[in-house]
């Protein structure tokens, strides 16, 4: 349940690992726990297989072995590994350690991913199951309130799960219905207005939840905050109970697909009110916390078929909304 900020690296390479993490932070990168975990896997490989003296004088054979495809490894996972060992080698060279730098041309990732767009009925069924959650095995009294509220915020505001879990009480203005997102992705901070119905729901939630000295709006045990993994795992359980079908890959839709669903429904609503869809994109881009409108265009272009199949847009009209960037 706990959301850690720093990975507990083994003592063998903890020193260089923390130097690298601090270096990334100094450049303005968040470099969160998940990224540090991947660095740990890389360093474990290096310290287990390196024949160099010292160990960190990375030889091409070692680097290429780490950057090679494993069985059933996705292009995205391989791309991440190659990027990590390249960036780490550049860091070592800056420190005066001669290390082979993996070539800049990393494996290409595929662009065939299509997000899942939940129907309104599916959202109702998921929320119905969330509202039925009882206390957890630790008898944590807040559990029945936390999950339904988080899911409503993700669906109703289009937040990233990390942004929702990082919300502190001081960032939630329940009187005016404003969420303050501090240093989201790309270090973008923004104000997110919520609907009146969601504002009332969150006010009721806030009156029930017991937080003691916990500063987070969605408090976990022992003054901690929830981990995104905990929410993702619970969301899958809710989907299963709600009768949501698995995708062609055998997995359930992701909790992040709530953000995609919000984006599509928001654009659909703006179009229904007569707003020019392309002129609406800058508004939606700001609301979502995207760095630029290109990110929003790409985000929504992935769901173009939804507008054609579900909302009965013609191919011509869909192309106008989702032009090539």
Query: Of 242, 273, 306, which closes a domain?
Result: 242
What is the distance of C-alpha 195 from the center of its chain? 23
d(CA 101, CA 84): 11
What does the block give as tokens for 216? 């987070």
Residues 233 and 270 in one domain: no
Q: 33-49 and 14-26 are packed helices; what angle lies between their axes, rounded to 10 degrees?
A: 140
Query: Of 211, 242, 273, which closes a domain?
Result: 242
Give the other-Cβ count within 10 Å of 271's Cβ: 17
Residues 298 and 222 in one domain: no
Per the structure, the count of domains in the chain is 3
SS3 label, residue 105 = coil
pLDDT at position 278, please? Answer: 55
Residue located via tokens 């059933």: 72
Q: By residue range, what is the domain housing residue 315?
A: 257-321
Q: Strands of 190-193's sheet, edge to edge?
A: 172-173, 178-181, 190-193
Q: Is 62 in contact with 47 (CB distance < 8 Å)?
A: no
What does the block give as tokens for 177? 């219905």
d(CA 40, CA 261): 34
pLDDT in tens, 99-152: 999 988 876 665 555 678 898 899 999 999 999 998 776 667 888 999 999 999
CA atoms within 13 A on the CB side of 161: 20
CA dihedral angle for residue 231, residue 30, residue 303, residue 251, rounded to 10 degrees: -40
Give the max Cα distance, the chain. 68
Closest among 218, 221, 229, 288 to 260, alpha carbons compared: 288
pLDDT tens digits for the chain (325 residues)?
A: 455 578 899 999 999 999 999 988 887 677 788 889 999 999 999 999 999 889 999 999 999 999 998 887 788 788 888 989 999 999 999 999 999 999 888 766 655 556 788 988 999 999 999 999 987 766 678 889 999 999 999 998 888 898 999 999 999 999 999 999 886 555 667 888 899 999 999 999 999 999 888 999 999 887 788 889 999 999 999 999 999 999 888 889 999 889 888 877 777 777 677 766 556 565 666 656 655 544 555 555 545 555 555 455 566 665 555 544 3
Element (H, E) at 172: strand 172-173
pLDDT in tens, 237-268: 999 999 999 988 888 999 988 988 887 777 77
d(CA 141, CA 120): 29
Residues 181 and 271 in one domain: no
Report if residue 99 sits inside a domain: no
Residues 35 and 84 in one domain: yes
pLDDT at position 293, please? Answer: 44
Closest among 219, 249, 17, 3 to 113, alpha carbons compared: 249
Give me the CATH number covering residue 171.
1.10.443.10
Residues 130 and 220 in one domain: yes
What does the block give as tokens for 85? 């060992």
Q: Is 192 in contact with 287 (CB distance < 8 Å)?
A: yes
What does the block give as tokens for 308? 């054609």
Report if residue 263 sits inside a domain: yes
The sign of the torsion formed by the CA atoms of 20, 25, 29, 33 equals: positive
């Amino acid at each position: 349940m706990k959301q850690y900020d720093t990975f507990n690296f083994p003592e063998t390479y903890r020193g260089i690992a923390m130097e690298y993490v601090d270096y990334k932070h100094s450049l303005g990168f968040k470099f969160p726990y998940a990224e540090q975990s991947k660095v740990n896997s890389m360093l474990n490989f290096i310290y287990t297989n390196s024949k160099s003296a010292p160990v960190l004088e990375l030889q091409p054979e070692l680097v290429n072995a780490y950057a090679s495809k494993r069985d059933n490894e996705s292009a995205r996972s391989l791309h991440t590994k190659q990027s990590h060992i390249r960036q780490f080698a550049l860091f070592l060279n800056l420190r005066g350690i001669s290390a082979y730098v993996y070539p800049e041309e990393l494996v290409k990732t595929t662009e065939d991913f299509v997000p899942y767009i939940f129907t309104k009925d599916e959202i109702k069924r998921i929320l119905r199951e969330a509202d039925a959650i009882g206390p957890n095995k630790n008898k944590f009294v807040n559990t029945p309130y936390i999950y339904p509220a988080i899911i409503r915020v993700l669906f109703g505001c289009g937040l990233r799960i990390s942004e929702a879990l990082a919300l502190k009480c001081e960032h939630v203005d329940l009187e005016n219905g404003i969420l303050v997102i501090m240093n989201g992705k790309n270090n973008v901070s923004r104000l997110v207005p919520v609907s009146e119905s969601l504002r009332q729901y969150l006010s009721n939630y806030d009156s029930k939840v017991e937080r003691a000295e916990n500063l987070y709006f969605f408090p976990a045990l022992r003054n901690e905050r929830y981990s995104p993994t905990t929410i993702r795992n619970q969301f899958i359980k809710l989907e299963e109970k709600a009768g949501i079908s698995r995708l062609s890959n055998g997995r359930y839709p992701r909790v992040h697909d709530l953000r995609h669903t919000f984006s599509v429904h928001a654009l659909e609503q703006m179009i229904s009110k007569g707003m020019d869809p392309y002129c609406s994109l800058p508004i939606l881009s700001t609301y979502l916390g995207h760095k630029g409108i290109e990110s929003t265009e790409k985000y929504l272009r992935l769901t173009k078929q939804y507008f054609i199949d579900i909302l009965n847009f013609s191919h011509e009209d869909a192309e106008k909304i989702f032009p090539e960037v």
